[in-house]
Structure 1
Amino acid sequence: MTNAIEMRRYSDGAVYRFLAAPAGEDGLPRFKRADKDVWMLRHPDFGWIVWDETDGSLMSCPWDVAMKDQGDAPPECDWVSRKGENSFVYRLVTV
């Protein structure tokens, strides 16, 4: 099992680390961002997403991997995010 995942932002090199957390109710792995109450988890309607628990918002999702093609772990690919009026592209990598 993957212990950590990083989201690496293309535009400025910012890195956000997510650490393995106990599995969700669906038995799939999930990850909590190291510095905030933000989660990477498998949503039944959206597939793998980044979810802000504080305000209940969808923050990020894979750009080029369809939900039907996502496996039991977050796909290593480009992800897009949106927070307010800002949008970014990240590369997800396991570490």
Structure 2
Amino acid sequence: MSLTKVLENWSDYDNKKKKGEDANFFSCTESWEVDYLVNKIKKVFPSQTTDAIVRAIQACCSSISAPRPRRVFVECVLRRLGLLI
């Protein structure tokens, strides 16, 4: 359920991706993408701190090599935050 909520409606993200890039993959090197994911997670889980979310994103960036499928990456971040079992 929580994974589904975070993955809902990424159309603004998809539209912002550079031409030729696959919007279904998360880029750890683009700060706007990291900020986007932080904000998506905070909307669903407002009790999570920005610092904790950023640390979880950084950990998943290190553990999942590029290209990082969006669903797999978001699932990794939520697991690191203890929000998925």
What's the TM-score bracket when you normalise by the shorter of the two chains? Answer: 0.3 to 0.5
Hey, which of these two has a bigger chunk of helix by percent? 2
Is the strand fraction higher in 1 or 2? 1
Q: TM-score, normalised by structure 2?
A: 0.35
What is the TM-score of this pair, normalised by structure 1?
A: 0.33
